[in-house]
Structure 1
Amino acid sequence: MPLTLYPWTKRFRWKYLLGIALLGGGLFFATPLSLFRVPYATVITDAEGSLLGAQIAPDGQWRFPAAAAVPDKFERALLTFEDRHFYQHPGFNPLAMAKALRDNLRAGKVVRGGSTISMQVIRLVRQGQPRTLGEKLLELLLAIKLELHYSKAEILQLYATHAPFGGNTVGLQTACWRYYQRPAEALSWAEAATLAVLPNAPALIFPGKNQQLLLQKRNRLLGSLLEQGALDSTTYQLALAEPLPGTPHPFPASARHLLLRLLKEGRQGRLTQTTLQAPLQEQLVALADRHQYRLSGNQVHNAALLVLETGTGNVLAYVGNTSTGTDLERGAEVDVIAAPRSTGSILKPFLYAAALHEGSLLPGMLLPDVPFYQRGFNPQNFNKSFEGAVPANRALARSLNIPYVYLLQEYGVERFHHLLKQAGMTTLKQGPGHYGLALILGGAEGTLWDITGMYASMGRSLQHFEGYRQQYDPADYHPPTYLQQAQVPPQLQYSTPLNAAALWHTLEALTEVNRPETEGAWKQFSSSRRIAWKTGTSFGFRDGWAIGLTPEYTVGVWVGNASGEGRPGLTGIEAAAPLLFDVFSMLPPTSWFTEPGGELEKSWICRQSGHKATELCPDKQVQAIPPLGLQSPPCPYHQLVHLDASGQYRVNSQCESIARMQHQPWFVLPPVMEWFYKSRNAHYATLPPYKPGCEAHSQHSMQLIYPAKASKIVVPRELDGATGRTVFEVAHRQPGVTLYWHLDQHYLGSTTSPHQMALHPSDGPHLLVVTDELGERLEHRFEVLAGVR
């Protein structure tokens, strides 16, 4: 049956169709465009926008992410060449299209295009479509739609980001660095004109291929710009004289390890402006390479350095590894800045500052430097010797190990572990008991990123103290950052884990630039500026550290092998410190920290012991100390000694009348400390012997060196499985005295000097008794552990 149209249908048919068309058109133009679903290169720049490095996009194109804006010169040149009425038309230019049609018909071929910038953006989106009349019409409609949804500035940016510039070079910023090694904002008029005409025929850029045609196009455009008044005649003549770009340049790669870090942190396909300084970065890459080359003779293949702005923590230079050699087996691609490595002695300043803060330590207080044994842990100083007692600040400057093991034992591993985590050490994945006292000697791993940031945080907190009216901002302790960040107002408080007084004394101690290399030899670094610095060497000579700071800069250096291979002589003082001072020599002049006078208290200090002075201390000085230091105990080493009239013997009231006694203050160290101290300090006077017939009830002349306070010891097994021997040692104040040894009531023999006895006790508990010829008795109970030798 034929379709019958009712009268009302005939009347409204065309209006109905028109409504559908209008609705469809409205939906077409109202629906947002889907533009450029393409991957981008990962790009990093320095603080001023200079390119530091780039990673090619996954599709093999060098396509940089969109920049903030299109530079004026390029915009003027582009619109003059491609679309002079860009800011007037709605996406297409009817007059330009008519002229193009006329000229093409006259020539019998395509000699002129009528596309606007907006239409060219659509063409870039729809790459690969045939150049038909229907496609041209669709481009026109989509260009109108583009204009409805994007501003003119955004359309220009879309074009500049995705236009082809020859080969796999896509986008204006990419082309600027590829051909001219500078950002688009720094283009000359000749360069801007060259890049403006290039997307029209990108193959012209290749050397030897129609270079003359590209030159003609550029020069014609420069002439048009002259006519418009965009440039004067002198600039025009100079622009004509500029050559075309030659072979494309490789992109900079001075921060290749930071670029890899960005990729790991999920910043692919983005343009990241960092806080780095490109000139400094390039200088330090070259410096690290030269330094590593000098070390390569010792088979040391890797080095890393990090430079921070102390006041902000901003990264100014990031050299994750040296670039000399590309052997992957040598770890050239490892970013050592982020790699956990054994810390050596680099954490000692934090323990020194913590003990100062709580008042248990004063800057020059004597610390024991005598043999230490605890459950198989037997640390040694670098020079394998003992000094008996060393001032804490000198022990820090000289990086002596044993005094700081004793200090950590007193301070507490748990508290120190917590403090390090508060300060920013993120690699302490295990509990305090896992590390034990070895924590202070490299028993834990840390990264150059964390450690350098922790030193900078110390300096920052001290630097801000006066500016914050003697208050603290907890946020001053934060990791380094390579990203530009807005400043946050400080949240001030009156307490902090490390007060300004403790930090001041710590950094003052670290300005000591003389360090022991080996016994009898000294390594000295001189510098025209004050630098607080510390070195560290890990067990087995695997890692050499050096950290230095001033109020302006904090520099962290690591030297070693990424593989973990140790090398003789690979120490912080020999391998890392020279690079540290070379870095500082390249930095601008620096200042020094202001003494936090409001945080320091003055007190009389005994010069010999470093403790608060008593009336028995003959040599005193006034020293500014942390507030809680006033509560520290007075000098325990100066005591009143009673001598006979001749001054040759000690006496007491049981053998000498008080009227005939001399009373003198005397500096007396515990026997073990004295045993080692007097051999290095000729001025140390040992106590005179007791006068015959006088009994000494209060003075102890003997002390165990080994096993000291250990109640449980391990005796090694011999190769044949038999019980081995362990050497017990005792210190006695009087030289030449005879000691008599007993183990479990069995007489073992006597010693004169040195007082050592090799024993092979069985498993289980034992009693060691040592007596001297004057009748003084020393007892020590210990247990030999079974099954763990």
Structure 2
Amino acid sequence: MYRLIKYLKRHKIKSLVIFILVIAYYFCLPKQLFKDPTATVITSNSNELLGALIADDGQWRFPVSDSVPDKFKTCILQFEDEYYYKHPGFNPVSIFKALKGNISSGSVKRGGSTITQQVIRLSRKGQSRSYLEKIKELVLATRLEFRLSKDEILNLYTSYAPFGGNVVGIDAASWRYYNRNAFDLSWAESATLAVLPNAPSLIYPGKNQKRLLDKRNRLLKKLYNNGTIDQLTYELSITEGLPQKPYPLPQIAPHLLQKVALKHKGQRIKTTVKSSLQQQTNSIVKQHYNRLKQNEIYNISVLVLDVNTREVLTYVGNSPTDNAHQKSVDIIDKPRSTGSILKPFLYAAMLDAGDLLPNTLVADVPTQFGSYQPENYNQTYDGAVFANEALSRSLNVPTVRMLQEFGLDRFYHYLKQLQLKDLKYNANHYGLSLVLGGAESNLWDLCKSYAAMSSTLNHFNANSSQYFSNEFCQPIYNSQQTIDFGTLSNEKEVFDAASIFLTFESMKQVNRPESDESWEYYDSSQEIAWKTGTSFGFRDAWAIGTTKDYVVGVWVGNADGEGRPGLVGVQTAAPILFDVFDVLPKNDWFAQPYDEMLEVTICKKSGYRASSICDDTEMRYIQTSGQKTEPCPFHKLVHLDVSEMYQVNSSCEAVSNIKNKSWFILPPLQAYYFKTKNPFYKPLPPYRNDCLESTGISMEFIYPNQQTTIFLPKDFDGNTNDLILKVAHSKPELEIHWYIDSEYIGSTKDIHDMAVLPTSGDHIITVMDELGNELKHKITISD
């Protein structure tokens, strides 16, 4: 150390020069060698290429890979730099031979550059091939050898070497010239690509084919001579043809590629997509698109999620349509009218809140809320229907009545917890139509919500009846990400497990498309909880289904919002849904969450908890919160004579002769429609003539019902048609008298229908039965 210090003091200028040269050498190499834009590349979960977007400079240049295929590595080293792993970045022997040959020829005929030097040359674009430039490359090459390993330098070279035209790098070249992964190339194919960086112009189809073939075969001969390949491989390899017209790159998931490019432009992203499932779904979508386009329905999107990992397994953003029909639009994340697809959330919310039991009877009668009058799809009414059947049949009127009873704000609060991002306005903006398509959502959010419900149920059964705090998280498509479901607790995040299970049990009963309508009779069929939706004007058709492990969501329609006859969820979206489920692995049904349920006695006829007078009961499991629901309100204890043909009381019959019997009685308006669908419904027997009738008489308008303004249609002759007034009476055999504005217009008995032709303006309709019970209704007749 003393001698060194003494030397430095004695040779200050020389030491300073050396120090400056060392510093200059250390910093001479740019921190980032290549700044060229790269293509955005996505691969499947098994590293199969799904698609790529060309780089901004128009070059097919893939991001640097982490390894070089063995065959290509052997070929490129044998052709370009045999002593690559032995030299320090430059090869003195090669340089000497090149210098000697160039001097003797009087021009630059041979370079003698190593692969490391070529990496430097590729990074220093546009530099002249002079001896000075060669010296700079040599210095920078040695510096690069200090910074990177030999394998890393080779990766750079194979990623940025030119392969003809706008193809850069071995990854892009293997797909453009051979339509497959570089790791799957044969010896002949690898040798062909290995000779291209040295003379990339040889690849142009129809030109230089003889020269390219000779160079390739010389390289194969060299591999055979040094024992890399055997004689049979060599003989077969030299018979292989050369690539001709470049292949287009795969576009298996083009809309997912667009989505990835928004956040990861120029990167290579390994996605969660299963390539085989994606391609099968693409084929299914194409098949249905070819059929649907005959009806001018052009757009389809499909999303498949893994419930347990929340990974995207299939992403079909649109059908293989044309640019005139928005082929490039990714509809999966676009807001569309929901139709009936939100109904299961209302059903689950009411179960969760303890406001409903699965089989509770709900009214299905003509209903009007202000100016809003919901109608069932088939424009008929059942009078009363079980809640789970109203869901499985997607009946609008019972659903809206359930929403009105549950509370619009309460339901809206549940929807906000589901994090539906297109629900941008307050509850009053949507009104009661919220549950029938008055709001918008997208396939991504809806599938996410159904997957979260399924996962909640799975986790509850697998984790000692506890809930995760982050079930309703966003799905992932990047395989480098994992879902954090949060922490376990006894508190549910949105819906409890029992409410979810009972909702899925109801959704399982939805009538399937014609091709699957007898699914329960086949052992190969699987149980699926699913729901369809159709927006107003036949603009959007939905179908979303879930099993224990998978969620499949389908949207069908036109991206520009044009409605089409027949664009109905069960007819267009549902067949696609079940075709996709058919190619997914089959799995068992959800386990019942007994810890969130209790077994109670249920009235079979009403679905309510059985009261003491319910005569037909059964034991059923309900959600724990359901124990606060009221007992059956439809069973009444009536007093009959011994023949059970008449009602009696103590005014006309001895108490010892009176038979007390439980009777199922619906309100008059519900009973009016219910008995048309249920022939075994028995109205109450009349009172015997000698009895004094006490109470229990009721009437309701069937039409007009809660309606104030009525438009009277005209026939082909221009004559105004009559207005048909209808009333339901709990004792139809009683005579009813009709009045309009206190003017008597007639009487009816048994069937209480009255045809009138009122003038334009406001009127009061009054009906009075022979016992003096009165009912009034105000209407407005408009021309």
TM superposition score normalised by structure 2: 0.90
Aligned to 2:332, the other structure's residue is in SS state: helix
* 1:494 equivalent among 490, 496, 499: 490
Mapped contact 2:545–2:553 kept (Cα < 8 A)? yes
Name the structure 2 match of 1:174. 172
Match of 1:423 among 418, 437, 441: 418
Q: Secondary structure at the match of 2:489?
A: coil
* 1:513–1:525 Cα contact (<8 Å) kept: no
Alignment check: 8 A CA contact 1:161 1:171 kept: yes
- CA pair 700-223 structure 1, distance change in 2 beyond 3 A: farther
Select the residue among 56, 66, 69 that pairs with 1:68. 66
Matched residue, 1:242: 240
Partner of 2:136: 138
**Count of residues in Structure 1 that have an aligned counterpart in Structure 2:** 763
Paired AA for residue 166 in structure 1: G
Q: Deviations over 1:157-208 (max 9, x none)?
A: 2212211011000111111211222222333333332222211111112233
Q: Paired residue for 1:125, among 123, 127, 134?
A: 123
**What is the Cα deviation at residue 300 of structure 1?**
1.4
Q: Separation in 2 of the partners of 1:739 and 1:422? A: 52
State the one-letter code of the partner of 2:203.
I
Q: Matches of 1:179 and 1:317 in 2, distance apart?
A: 28
Matched ranges for 1:289-688 at <5 A: 289-324=286-321, 326=322, 328-484=323-479, 485-488=481-484, 490-496=486-492, 497-514=494-511, 528-688=525-685
1:727–1:119 CA distance, 2 compared to 1 (3 A):
farther
Cα distance in structure 2, aligned partners of 1:662 and 1:759 = 48
Letter paired with 2:283: A
Query: Are the structure 2 counterparts of residues 95 and 760 from structure 1 closer, same or farther at C-alpha, using a change threshold of 3 Å?
Result: farther
CA contact (8 A) 1:32 1:149 kept: no
Cα distance in 2 for partners of 1:337, 1:581 equals 18
Contact 2:710–2:779, Cα closer than 8 Å, also in 1: no
Report how far residue 697 of structure 1 moved.
4.1
Distance in 2, Cα, partners of 1:649 & 1:78: 103
Q: Distance in 2 between matches of 1:685 and 1:15?
A: 118
Alignment of 1:68-147 (within 5 A): 68-106=66-104, 110-147=108-145
Whole-angstrom CA distance in 1 between matches of 2:138 and 2:703:
93
Give the deviation of 1:504 after TM superposition: 1.4
One of 273, 277, 280 as aligned partner of 1:280: 277
Cα distance in 2 for partners of 1:270, 1:536 equals 38
Counterpart contact for 1:472–1:493, Cα < 8 Å: yes
587-596 or 435-444, which deviates more:
587-596
Deviations 1:743-785 (A, max 9, x none): 675656545534467767867xx976432122223356x6989
SS at match of 2:644: coil
Letter in 2 for 1:456: A
Question: Residue 131 of structure 1: CA displacement?
Answer: 1.0
Moved more, 660-669 or 753-762: 753-762
User: How many angstroms does 1:110 deviate by?
Assistant: 4.5
Deviation at residue 637 of structure 1 after TM alignment = 0.7
Q: CA RMSD in A?
A: 3.1
Please say if residues 728 and 759 of structure 1, whose CA atoms lie closer than 8 Å, have aligned partners that are also in contact.
no
Q: Is the 8 A contact 1:50 1:182 kept in 2?
A: no
Equivalent residue, structure 1, for 2:50 = 52
User: Structure 1 residues 21 and 749, CA, compared in 2 at 3 Å: closer, same or farther?
Assistant: farther
Q: Which 10-residue stretch deviates more, 117-126 or 487-496? A: 487-496
- Asked if 2 retains the 8 angstrom alpha-carbon contact of 1:373 and 1:707, the reply is no
Read off the aligned partner of 1:435 and give its amino acid letter.
Y
Cα shift at 1:152: 2.7
Distance 1:759 1:435 in 2: 35
Q: 1:81 to 1:198 in 2, by over 3 A?
A: same
Residues 610 and 139 of structure 1: CA distance in aligned 2, closer, same or farther (over 3 Å): same
Task: After TM superposition, give the deviation of residue 569 of structure 1 in Å.
Answer: 1.5
CA distance in 2, matches of 1:285, 1:513: 26
Name the counterpart of 1:153.
Answer: 151
Q: Alpha carbons of 1:662 and 1:511: their partners in 2 closer, same or farther (altered >3 Å)?
A: same
Distance 1:476 1:759 in 2: 60
Query: SS at the partner of 1:700?
Result: coil
Moved more, 370-379 or 499-508: 499-508
Q: After superposition, give the CA deviation of every residue in 1:475-524 in whole Å (9 maximum; x if it has no partner).
A: 2222332121235364112222212211112212222253699xxx9966
Q: Is the 8 A contact 1:715 1:725 kept in 2?
A: no
Report how far residue 403 of structure 1 moved. 1.1
User: Residue type matched to 2:484 in 1?
Assistant: V
Distance 1:232 1:591 in 2: 53
Contact conserved, 1:306 with 1:449, CA < 8 A, in 2?
Answer: yes
Matched-pair contact (CA < 8 Å) for 2:90–2:138: yes
1:516/1:685 CA distance change after superposition, 3 Å = farther
For 1:363 and 1:393, how far apart are their aligned partners in 2?
5
Point out the more displaced range, 87-96 or 560-569.
87-96
What secondary structure sits across from 2:620 in the alignment?
A: strand
Q: Is the 8 A contact 1:376 1:714 kept in 2?
A: no
In structure 1, what is the Cα distance between the partners aligned to 2:40 and 2:369?
Answer: 53
CA apart distance, 1:425: 1.7
Q: Does the CA contact (< 8 Å) of 2:174 and 2:181 recur in 1?
A: yes
8 Å CA contact 1:740, 1:750 repeated in 2 = yes
Distance 1:713 1:522 in 2: 44
Q: For structure 1, list consecutive stretches of 5 or more residues without a partner in the other structure.
A: 1-10
User: Counterpart of 2:482 in structure 1: which amino acid?
Assistant: A
How far apart in 2 are the matches of 1:156 and 1:758? 93
- Separation of aligned partners in 1, 2:23 and 2:217: 44
- The one-letter code matched in structure 1 to 2:93 is L
Deviates more, 1:609-618 or 1:107-116: 107-116
Contact kept, 8 Å, 1:424 with 1:479, in 2: the verdict is no
Instruction: Please say which of residues 443-452 and 11-20 is displaced more in the overlay.
Output: 11-20
Cα deviation, residue 464, structure 1:
2.0
Counting only pairs closer than 5 Å after superposition, residues 682-761 of structure 1 correspond to structure 2 as: 682-692=679-689, 694-705=691-702, 713-714=708-709, 729-742=726-739, 750-752=747-749, 753-755=751-753
How far apart are residue 605 of structure 1 and its match?
A: 0.9
Give, in angstroms, the shift of residue 298 of structure 1: 1.6
* TM-score with structure 1 setting the length: 0.90
Distance across 2 between alignment mates of 1:557 and 1:214: 50
- Aligned counterpart for 1:211 among listed residues 209, 212, 220: 209
